[in-house]
Amino acid sequence: VDEEPVGGIGQPGAPEILGSIEFDESVAAFEGTWVPFEDGFQLYLPSQWTQFDLTEEEQQAGVLYFAGDASGGEHAPYVSVNWTYASEYNDLNDVIEELAAAGDYEVDGILLINGIPCVSYSSSTDDLSGVVFFHPMSPDYLFIIVAAEMSSNIDTQNSILCSLSPY
pLDDT of 124 above 60: yes
Reported pTM: 0.86
Taking only the tens place, the pLDDT of each residue in 17-69 is 888 999 999 999 899 999 999 999 999 999 999 999 999 999 999 999 999 99
Of 48, 55, 53, 54, residue with least CA distance to 69: 48
Asked whether the predicted pLDDT for residue 142 surpasses 90, the reply is: yes
Distances (CA, A) of 97 to 74, 91, 161: 33, 10, 21
SS3 call for 18: coil
DSSP class of 29: S
15 — pLDDT class (breaks 50, 70, 90) = low
Q: CA triplet 162, 164, 165: central angle to 5 degrees?
A: 125
